[in-house]
Structure 1
Amino acid sequence: MAVKITQLEAENVKRVKAVQLTPAESGLTVIGGRNNQGKTSVLDAIMWTLGGDKMKPGKPFRDGSMVPPRLWIELSNGIIVERSGDKSTLKVTDANGKKAGQTLLNTFVEQFALDMPKFMSSSSKEKARTLLRVIGLEDKIRQLDQDWQQAYNDRRAVGQIADQKEKYAKELPEYPDAPTEPVSAYELIQRQQAILAQNGENQRKREYASHLEAERDRVGRQLEELKAKYESLCADCETAAKDALDLLDESTEQLEADIQRIDAINEKVRTNQKKRQAMDEADELWEEYEGLTQKLEELRNETRRLLEEAKLPLPGLSVDGWELTYNGQPWDCMSGSDQLKVSTAIVRALNPDCGFVLLDKLEQMDLDSLREFGAWMEAEGLQGIATRVSTGGECSIIIEDGKAVGAEPEFDPEPVPGPAVPEWGDEF
């Protein structure tokens, strides 16, 4: 069962002369009074008594007192904690009368419960880490966050490159009439040489036909002697003449022009290829960008799933980008009462064996918020010992000049002065 404070006695600590307090088992016990009367000194006394020398006030002795501080706290688990004497020696006695020390107190007293302002003034990231540590998700969420950050950086880099590629492609001119592949000068020259060779062969055939005709004329003059040969030559001449008539010379003019402007053609081809390549690369990068965007969303969803399935100390608590949120609101957008409720819930979860928290300066809350906060603590079975600049009926005890002078056990609808009670300080 969570340990709570059942009795407190404090003498000559800071502004406290003598105060005795019996806190309510659950809900708020409000220590009221005007400024500089010793309210916060009561909390400091509890912090020092239970928290050890590291929480010892800088000037613990009350001004003007010849008697050293004396602190005595009884806890619900039967342990008695005392500090007394010139050296404020710690004495811890368990329910069986056995002596112990600070180490025993540290097992069930949460340090943030003694020093709530330390938690509340920590950075939003530290608060989020504390919550994640409480629910056992700090390492998992940190890894998911690192994965998300890496994917985000990768996506940004891919997007920048894709954008550059796209802009570069758009800036390049395009030549629709250019071939899809660079033109080879060697192939054009080979084709030109082939045509020239064919044309030369045609010329040789023409010359050969002319030669046959001349030979035919010569043989004709010798027709009678060489009639047989003449007839044969006539037949050959007729065949050769027919072959010559079917021949058609092909022009190399276009090829010569292409050879002359091959560099310009190929430059257009290369430009078109660069443009297509840049656009293809940009498309691939944008596809990768979309994939990384999906990965970012998946990582966020996994983080949300872990948080939704976790056993949170307060419904509505969550972590968004390493920032603590409550009902969707970040810390600096929460009301003062919500900040206290969130802090109290997290601090309690840090050490469930500690059933109390110390709260200073609750005058920042109006009475409705104070009642609501107190009712929530009572429903949670939490004990809160708090200070408030007030002498109204919401106060459980009034401190005046370092001593308790009055009390009201319940909240009233409107603040009214509590009845006076006899001072008991001299009876310590």
Structure 2
Amino acid sequence: MIKINKLEIENVKRVKAVKIEPTANGLTIVGGKNRQGKTSILDSIQWGLGGNKYRPSQAAREGSAVPPYLHIVLSNGLIVERKGKNSDLKVIDPNGQKGGQQLLDSFVEELAIDLPKFMHASNKEKANILLRIIGVGDQLHELEVKEQEIYNRRHAIGQIADQKEKFAKEQPYFPDAPKEPISASELIRQQQDILARNGENQHKRQRLTQIQAEYTSQGQEIERLRSLLAQAEAKYVQLGADLEIAQKDALDLVDESTAELEANIRQIDEINRKVRANLDKDKAEADASDYRVQYDQLTAEITAIRQQKNDLLTNANLPLPGLSVEDGELVYNSQKWDNMSGAEQLIVATSIVRRLKPDCGFILLDKLEQMDIDTLREFGQWLEQEGLQAIATRVSTGDECSIIIEDGYVAGQPQQVEQPPAAAEPKTWKAGEF
């Protein structure tokens, strides 16, 4: 990985003259009070490595007669310079070959020299950068679209099932009502059949009465007409037999009541209302059950899709263990961006930026005064572990600062008399110099 070995800046913004050798692995903090030139150092590096789009609007230090001068030595041997009236860029490799911004762009990652651009991006923008890096963005998008579609269908079915259940609960139920609506004409036909059978029974009863009367009359006739006794007795015997038969028939007769049918005819509308209510309740319960089955099936589909998403991200070559994307947002150790600690945010951002251009081994950070000492120490240890370099500014003059900037100079370094930088050949460095 390519890092910044040495840095010399003169007359850029608030910087008068500074020379810095950043820590190769770990965190180099440029401290100092406000308006002393700390941020000017980072702006100078951005301009030197990132091109004229990072040129400060007022690059030359106010009041200086000497134009800005930048000299950056990279770990791959490249020397980057900006000097002269137009601050033209010059890139020289160890063999003396010259290059330009295109060479720098091949390994300098834009977000590495402008990390706030990533830090201040939306959660979805951060996630999209990560997905682009690991190459699963399109697949994950397709799964998320499919998941949302099934989720919407399940939601609609769930609402219908709830409505059906609510309707079923609100319906009255009449356990004594028939299962099907009844017909008035059928009840009348049944009534007529019963009346016909009852009429036949009445006819038999009348016949019994008639036979009884004749039997009695004939007995009296026997007493009165002794002379006709033989004939009368024969007839009497015959009538006795008929009487016995008629009595037996009469004993087995039971009249059927039409009261229930008459009541049903009078109440047919009420009965049918109860039947329809029961049918509506039964259908609503059946529909609710069907929709619940569909709901459970769609839930299983959503679970399967989410598992596919998890498998996709689990098997991806992520730049940091514990880093993932959930619901289109960046997640680290199960925490979304706004729930991460300051150190975790820096670690995540640096890991992702490093993966964009693996040859770029450094990042620039401004305004680290927002972080406490423990957070700085944690982030610095992670940088050392990963072999990365960070150059940062902090409004502080404490021991955590690698160097202190005072009035455009590095505190403790001899202050130089302002003079135009040497023209012609690029600056070289000797052991022990700097």
Q: TM-score, with normalisation over the residues of structure 1?
A: 0.80
1:405–1:194 distance in 2 versus 1, CA, 3 Å: same
Compute the displacement of 1:155 (Å): 3.2
SS at match of 1:58: coil
Partner of 2:231: none
Matched, 1:403 2:396: no
SS at match of 2:324: strand
Partner of 1:386: 392
CA distance in structure 1 between the aligned counterparts of 2:378 and 2:417, rounded to whole angstroms: 32
Is 254-263 or 92-101 further displaced after alignment? 92-101
Compute the displacement of 1:12 (Å): 2.0
The 5 A counterparts of 1:125-204 are 125-196=124-195
Matched, 1:18 2:17: yes
SS at match of 1:183: coil
Compute the displacement of 1:426 (Å): 4.5
AA in 2 matched with 1:354: C
| Alignment partner of 2:329 out of 303, 319, 323 | 323
Partner of 1:44: 43
Compute the displacement of 1:84 (Å): 3.2
| Alignment partner of 1:339 out of 332, 342, 345 | 345
Partner of 1:219: none
Unaligned stretches of 5+ residues in structure 2: 211-234, 422-434
Compute the displacement of 1:374 (Å): 2.0
AA in 1 matched with 2:31: G
CA distance in structure 2 between the aligned counterparts of 1:124 and 1:146, rounded to whole angstroms: 18
SS at match of 1:17: strand
CA distance in structure 2 between the aligned counterparts of 1:315 and 1:392, rounded to whole angstroms: 33
CA distance in structure 1 between the aligned counterparts of 2:320 and 2:260, rounded to whole angstroms: 86
SS at match of 1:324: strand
Partner of 2:360: 354
Aligned residue pairs total 408
Partner of 2:215: none
1:267–1:388 distance in 2 versus 1, CA, 3 Å: same
CA distance in structure 2 between the aligned counterparts of 1:351 and 1:377, rounded to whole angstroms: 17
SS at match of 2:27: strand
1:425–1:369 distance in 2 versus 1, CA, 3 Å: farther
CA distance in structure 2 between the aligned counterparts of 1:51 and 1:325, rounded to whole angstroms: 29
Compute the displacement of 1:111 (Å): 0.9
Is 25-34 or 75-84 further displaced after alignment? 75-84
Question: 1:206, 1:244 within 8 Å by CA — same for their partners in 2?
Answer: no
Compute the displacement of 1:403 (Å): 2.2
The 5 A counterparts of 1:268-307 are 268-307=274-313
Unaligned stretches of 5+ residues in structure 1: 212-229, 407-419
CA distance in structure 1 between the aligned counterparts of 2:104 and 2:34, rounded to whole angstroms: 31
AA in 2 matched with 1:56: R
AA in 2 matched with 1:40: T
AA in 1 matched with 2:272: N
Question: 1:33, 1:398 within 8 Å by CA — same for their partners in 2?
Answer: yes
SS at match of 1:388: strand
Partner of 1:113: 112
Compute the displacement of 1:140 (Å): 3.1
Task: Encode CA deviations 1:370-397: one digit per residue, 9 max, x unaligned.
Answer: 3332222122111111122233444333
SS at match of 2:89: strand
AA in 2 matched with 1:378: E
Question: 1:166, 1:282 within 8 Å by CA — same for their partners in 2?
Answer: yes
Compute the displacement of 1:47 (Å): 0.8
SS at match of 1:319: strand
Partner of 2:61: 62
Question: 1:405, 1:422 within 8 Å by CA — same for their partners in 2?
Answer: no
Partner of 1:217: none
CA distance in structure 2 between the aligned counterparts of 1:51 and 1:252, rounded to whole angstroms: 104
Partner of 2:7: 8
Compute the displacement of 1:139 (Å): 2.7
SS at match of 1:23: coil
Question: 1:7, 1:74 within 8 Å by CA — same for their partners in 2?
Answer: yes
1:38–1:161 distance in 2 versus 1, CA, 3 Å: same
Question: 1:344, 1:357 within 8 Å by CA — same for their partners in 2?
Answer: yes
Compute the displacement of 1:294 (Å): 3.8
CA distance in structure 1 between the aligned counterparts of 2:54 and 2:189, rounded to whole angstroms: 98
Partner of 1:222: none
Partner of 2:72: 73
